[in-house]
Structure 1
Amino acid sequence: MPACLFNGEAADRIPVTDRGLGYGDGLFRTVLLKQGRPTLWHWHWQCLQHDCAALGLPLPAEAVLLAELAQLAATLPLAVGKIVLTRGSGARGYALPQPVVPTRLVSVAGFAPQPCPDGVTVRWCRLELASQPRLAGVKHLNRLENVLARAEWDDPAIREGLLCDAEGWLTEACACNVFVDFGSHVATPLLDRCGVAGAARACLLDCLADRLGRPVRVERIARAAVQGAQGLWLCNSVVGVLPVRRLDALAFGLPDSARVAADILAAA
Structure 2
Amino acid sequence: MQSLPADESYEDGILETMRCHNRRLPLWPLHRERLARNAGFDELLLKEIDQCIPRLVEQLNQKMAIARLRLGSVGGEWCWDLSLLPLNLTAETELGVRLYPCKTYLPLSKSRNLGSKLLCRNRYNKAKSELPDGERIDGLMLDSEGRVIESLRCNLLARFGNTWITPDLHRCGVRGVMRDWLSSEIQWQERDLEIRDLSGADEVALCNSVRGVLPVVEIIGHQRWPIGAGVRGLQHLIMETLW
Fold shared, TM-score > 0.5 on shorter chain: yes
1:247 to 214, 219, 236: 219
After superposition, the CA RMSD in angstroms is 2.2
1:65 aligns with 2:37: no
State the Cα deviation string for residues 245-265 of structure 1 (Å, max 9, x = none): 111142112233312222233
> Which residue of 2 is the match for residue 125 of structure 1?
102
- Structure 2: how far apart are the matches of 1:122 and 1:22? 30
> Which residue of 2 is the match for residue 94 of structure 1?
none
- Structure 2: how far apart are the matches of 1:174 and 1:241? 15
State the Cα deviation string for residues 118-153 of structure 1 (Å, max 9, x = none): 322221111111011434412122221111111112
| Distance apart, 1:233 and its partner CA | 0.5
Indicate the structure (1 or 2) with the bigger Cα radius of gyration.
1
- Structure 2: how far apart are the matches of 1:224 and 1:136? 27
| Distance apart, 1:237 and its partner CA | 0.7
- Structure 2: how far apart are the matches of 1:237 and 1:183? 26
Number of residue equivalences = 236
- Structure 2: how far apart are the matches of 1:172 and 1:60? 33
> Which residue of 1 is the match for residue 73 of structure 2?
87
1:163 to 135, 141, 146: 141
1:233 aligns with 2:205: yes
| TM-score normalised over the length of structure 2 | 0.88
> Which residue of 2 is the match for residue 105 of structure 1?
81
Gaps of 5+ in 1: 91-100, 210-215
- Structure 2: how far apart are the matches of 1:244 and 1:79? 24
Gaps of 5+ in 2: none
> Which residue of 2 is the match for residue 260 of structure 1?
233
State the Cα deviation string for residues 55-108 of structure 1 (Å, max 9, x = none): xx4455444323323323322321111111113532xxxxxxxxxx52011111
> Which residue of 2 is the match for residue 95 of structure 1?
none
> Which residue of 1 is the match for residue 130 of structure 2?
152
2:20 to 33, 43, 57: 33
> Which residue of 2 is the match for residue 187 of structure 1?
165
| Distance apart, 1:154 and its partner CA | 4.7
SS of residue in 2 equivalent to 1:128: coil
Change (3 A) 1:104 1:59: farther
Change (3 A) 1:65 1:59: same
* Contact 1:178 1:189 (8 Å CA) reproduced: yes
The letter of the residue matching 2:18 is V
- Structure 2: how far apart are the matches of 1:135 and 1:217? 18
* Contact 2:97 2:214 (8 Å CA) reproduced: yes
- Structure 2: how far apart are the matches of 1:88 and 1:22? 5
1:46 aligns with 2:33: yes
- Structure 1: how far apart are the matches of 2:219 and 2:20? 31
Change (3 A) 1:66 1:79: farther
> Which residue of 2 is the match for residue 75 of structure 1?
60
SS of residue in 2 equivalent to 1:102: strand
* Contact 1:181 1:255 (8 Å CA) reproduced: no
The letter of the residue matching 1:81 is A
* Contact 1:32 1:238 (8 Å CA) reproduced: yes
- List 4+ stretches of structure 1 deviating above 3 A: 57-63, 133-136
1:205 aligns with 2:202: no
